[in-house]
Amino acid sequence: MYFTDVSVYNSMIDVVFKVHFDMSPVKTRKQNSRKLPSIVWGPTCCSNDKISGDVIYLPELFVGDWLKIHDTGAYSISVASHFNGFPLPNVHAFIRKEDVIFLTEKVDHPLPKEKFVFGDSIEGLLTGLTLPSRYITNYF
């Protein structure tokens, strides 16, 4: 059993509607760790706050490890709430380099390049992130 600081009430509401999200660790501390049957829960005391749905298989994780929740999409954070006083999660979007170039150079109102961290892998990118994060969403 794993507990996260993301909840069906603050960003994973789609789970209530039986939407399944694949989850994987960003990296593990034990190389070649075998996968174990796991359930991922949110931080509330609510019995509905099970964000993994059914049993999933994950390697052994430790406090502070990052869990990537794949393809959460537009309706995850937009319908989030501060249920039980829990804060909304910080979001780090991982996008392709060509999309960053488009967003910083080719649109009418370009975004500043310092808003992006560049790298070849998620593990490499984590070293450049300075904000505390509670989940990762990707838009590939």
* Positions marked active-site: 45
CA gap 104, 112 in Å, rounded: 6
Rounded-to-integer distance, Cα 124 and Cα 133, Å:
15
Tell me how far CA of residue 51 lies from CA of 27, 46, 60, in angstroms. 20, 12, 18
Rounded distance, CA 126 to CA 13, Å? Answer: 26
Residues in the chain: 140
